[in-house]
């Protein structure tokens, strides 16, 4: 029995493996498959909506071995591009994905230029195929990142940015949104972090498509789309969330490993992981593109156009709020003159207004010292009249006082003396938050403009208060010295004086130690001399004693000898006497 799956013409993976090892030996088999591909291509073009497994397999086979037969397959990449251009809307989704993957493989092997392929992929983003759009999006971002990894490819970047600029104006909302997402993703990956990218993204803020408009504003304000997602869980899930907050993702995964694997436990684990991820996002700091706002070519013109669009906007309130946020940041960072913006935001400053705390924040961050005080004074009076009154709650009054303080810290001349003294009277309010807010307002004006405060609220005069100059609109206070530097100078002088005193004490201690060493040396020399003298005296004494002992012994010996001699003489005399007798 013959096994058909071992025949080379039908077993494309095996033939592909053999061709990569020895291309010349299997060239005839390759040409046979290439002729079969050409015939299947013509058949597929007659009915592109029908799925053809053989055509897709042949396309991937030729893409895999294309580097082995570059001359024979020189027209193969262009054939695939033309096929996608002409039949992209009617083509079967599975075959379309296969052809796109074959083009990716050819691009990775440098058998085709990057620009035609990437431009084609941007056009294919218009297709109603979610899986294809996801594959193309990931490939475009990764390919551009890899291309610019070692060095910036300015030619590729410029052409793609120009092409994306045209895609943002496309009528297809999906393609425009994905093109914008690609640019934002590449900016955040530090691949396209230049002024041209930022200004191309800024054009999307005027798009008629709400999704594109919101995505562009979120890029500048630093909001993530995931943060805007609402919880779909019911009230019964709150207890589960409280229990999950105390666990980490590792603990949840480890607990799931123990026990029987069921669908219910799998869903419970996924839900717990999503709650943990959501809690991490709450604690994560906001991402804000300071550099993106600074890279705008003409922020004044951009803010004016955006404000004009805001006045005529018919979008929901959340979108308007995002536009107000972006305009206020532009005005505050670049110190723009957009005088009509303050009366516009003034109409929303009511305690019952939704998201009123955000609106008060936007009013504060749009204030700066170059705005005429007459423009911001009505804004402050509106906050004082609507929030800082006894008919409101303590929280509303505290929010109003804090908002006035923040606005006055940026524009101190925008408030009158009477209003300041009225607001300061809340320093003895029974509500603690109101009392602390009023005291913080007093502390601000002690630094900025003490003349607006009553004499009893100015505090004790200090050296810093003497340096405060009278505020005037448009006047810049340039100093030729650093305030407070004299303290550093005094501290430095004291430190040097202290170090000198330490050095003197050290030198004196060294001198004393040298004197004591000399005294010790002299004492030691005296001791040595006395020791030598004593040794000499002892030696002399013992030597004299020995000498005396030697003399005495010698004298005794002589006496003994004399006695012996006398004895001998007496004996001799006796002998002589005997002889005589």
pLDDT along the chain (581 residues), means of 10: 50 86 89 91 89 90 90 90 89 92 92 90 90 93 89 86 86 90 91 89 92 93 54 43 56 68 80 77 55 90 95 91 94 93 93 92 92 92 92 91 93 89 90 92 86 82 65 70 73 77 69 57 54 59 52 49 48 46 36
Closest by CA position to 47, among listed 103, 91, 97: 91
Phi-psi bin for 358: left (phi > 0), alpha (psi -120 to 50), beta? Answer: alpha
**Structural domain of 376:** 337-466
CATH of the domain at 432: 1.25.10
Same domain, 379 and 272: no
> Strand, helix or coil at 157?
helix
Which residues are CB-neighbours of 560 under 8 A, at least 6 positions away? none
| H helical segments located in 125-194 | 130-147, 154-168, 173-188
Check if the beta carbon of residue 106 is closer than 8 Å to that of residue 77. yes
Same domain, 163 and 275: no
Residue 276 inside a domain? The answer is: yes
In whole angstroms, what is the distance from residue 426 CA to residue 431 CA? 9
Check if the beta carbon of residue 75 is closer than 8 Å to that of residue 117. no
Kind and range of the H or E run holding 496: helix 485-580
| Tally of CB atoms within 10 A around 94 | 15
Same domain, 8 and 132: yes
Residue 94 inside a domain? The answer is: yes
Residue 324 inside a domain? The answer is: no
DSSP for residue 130: H
Which residues are CB-neighbours of 510 under 8 A, at least 6 positions away? none
Residue 306 inside a domain? The answer is: no
Check if the beta carbon of residue 220 is closer than 8 Å to that of residue 289. yes
Look up residue 159 and give its two tokens. 């052409």
Same domain, 410 and 344: yes
Residue 31 inside a domain? The answer is: yes
Look up residue 323 and give its two tokens. 């536009």
In whole angstroms, what is the distance from residue 83 CA to residue 49 CA? 13
pTM given for the model: 0.69
Q: Which of 431, 466, 501 is the last residue of a domain?
A: 466
| H helical segments located in 335-411 | 341-346, 356-365, 373-386, 394-410
User: What's residue 552's pLDDT?
Assistant: 47
Same domain, 267 and 373: no
Which residue, chain included where needed, has tokens 């294919």?
Answer: 124
Same domain, 158 and 93: yes
- Work out how many domains the chain is built from and give that number: 3
Look up residue 430 and give its two tokens. 């029974």
Same domain, 22 and 128: yes
Same domain, 137 and 274: no
Check if the beta carbon of residue 200 is closer than 8 Å to that of residue 163. no
> Strand, helix or coil at 222?
coil
Check if the beta carbon of residue 266 is closer than 8 Å to that of residue 253. no
In whole angstroms, what is the distance from residue 277 CA to residue 348 CA? 35
Same domain, 102 and 183: yes
DSSP for residue 229: P
Residue 305 inside a domain? The answer is: no
User: What's residue 277's pLDDT?
Assistant: 75
Residue 505 inside a domain? The answer is: no
| Tally of CB atoms within 10 A around 328 | 23
Same domain, 269 and 407: no
Look up residue 369 and give its two tokens. 């010292």
**Secondary structure (H, E, C), 397-424:** HHHHHHHHHHHHHHCHHHCCHHHHHHHH
Same domain, 41 and 180: yes
Residue 207 inside a domain? The answer is: no
Q: Which of 438, 466, 494 is the last residue of a domain?
A: 466
Closest by CA position to 271, among listed 239, 224, 227: 239
User: What's residue 260's pLDDT?
Assistant: 73
Where b means 16+ CB within 10 Å and e means fewer, 2-26 reads eeeeeeeeeebeebbebbeeeeeeb
Same domain, 89 and 187: yes
Q: How far is CA 95 from the centre of its chain?
A: 43
Angle, CA 422 vertex, CA 420 and CA 423 arms, to 5°: 65
Which residue, chain included where needed, has tokens 């970047």?
Answer: 157
């Amino acid at each position: 029995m013959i096994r058909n799956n071992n025949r080379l013409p039908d077993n494309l993976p095996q033939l592909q493996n053999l061709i990569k090892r020895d291309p010349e030996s299997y060239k005839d088999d390759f040409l046979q498959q290439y002729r079969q591909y050409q015939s299947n291509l013509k058949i597929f073009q007659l009915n592109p909506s029908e799925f053809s497994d053989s055509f897709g397999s042949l396309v991937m086979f030729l893409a895999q071995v294309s580097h082995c037969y570059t001359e024979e397959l020189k027209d193969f990449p262009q054939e695939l591009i033309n096929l996608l251009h002409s039949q992209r809307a009617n083509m079967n989704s599975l075959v379309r994905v296969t052809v796109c993957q074959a083009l990716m493989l050819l691009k990775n092997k440098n058998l085709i230029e990057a620009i035609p392929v990437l431009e084609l992929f941007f056009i294919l983003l218009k297709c109603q195929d979610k899986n294809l759009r996801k594959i193309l999006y990931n490939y475009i971002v990764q390919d551009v990142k890899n291309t610019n990894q070692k060095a910036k490819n300015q030619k590729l970047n410029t052409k793609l940015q120009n092409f994306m600029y045209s895609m943002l104006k496309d009528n297809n909302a999906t393609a425009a949104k994905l093109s914008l997402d690609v640019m934002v993703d590449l900016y955040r990956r530090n691949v396209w972090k230049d002024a041209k990218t930022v200004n191309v993204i800024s054009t999307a803020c005027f798009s008629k498509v709400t999704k594109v408009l919101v995505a562009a504003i979120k890029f500048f304000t630093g909001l993530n789309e995931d943060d805007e997602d609402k919880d779909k869980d019911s009230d019964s899930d709150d207890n589960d969330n409280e229990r999950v907050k105390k666990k980490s993702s590792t603990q949840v995964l480890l607990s799931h490993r123990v026990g029987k694997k069921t669908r219910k436990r799998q869903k419970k684990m996924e839900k717990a992981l999503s709650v943990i991820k959501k809690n991490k996002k709450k604690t994560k700091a906001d991402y804000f593109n300071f550099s993106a706002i600074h890279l705008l070519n003409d922020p004044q013109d951009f803010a004016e156009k955006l404000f004009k669009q805001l006045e005529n906007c018919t979008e929901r309130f959340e979108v308007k709020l995002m536009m107000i946020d972006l305009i206020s940041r532009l005005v505050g960072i670049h110190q723009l003159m957009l005088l009509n913006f303050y009366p516009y935001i003034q109409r929303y400053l009511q305690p019952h207004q939704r998201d009123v705390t955000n609106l008060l924040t936007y009013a504060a961050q749009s204030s700066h010292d170059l705005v005429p005080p007459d423009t911001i004074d009505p804004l402050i009076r509106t906050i004082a009249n609507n929030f800082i009154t006894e008919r409101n709650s303590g929280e509303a009054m505290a929010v109003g006082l804090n908002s006035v303080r923040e606005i006055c810290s940026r524009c101190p001349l925008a408030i009158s003396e009477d209003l300041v003294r009225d607001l300061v009277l809340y320093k003895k309010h029974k509500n603690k938050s109101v009392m602390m807010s009023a005291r913080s307002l007093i502390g601000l004006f002690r630094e900025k403009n003490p003349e607006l405060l009553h004499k009893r609220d100015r505090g004790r005069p200090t050296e810093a208060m003497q340096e405060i100059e009278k505020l005037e609109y448009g006047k810049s206070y340039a100093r030729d010295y650093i305030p407070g530097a004299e303290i550093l100078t005094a501290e430095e002088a004291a430190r040097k004086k202290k170090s000198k005193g330490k050095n003197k004490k050290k030198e004196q201690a060294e001198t004393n130690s040298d004197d004591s060493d000399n005294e010790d040396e002299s004492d030691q020399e005296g001791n040595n001399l006395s020791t030598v003298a004593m040794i000499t005296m002892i030696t002399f004494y013992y030597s004299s004693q020995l000498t005396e002992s030697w003399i005495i012994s010698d004298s005794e010996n002589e006496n003994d000898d004399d006695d012996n001699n006398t004895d001998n003489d007496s004996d001799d005399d006796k002998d002589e006497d005997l002889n005589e007798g």
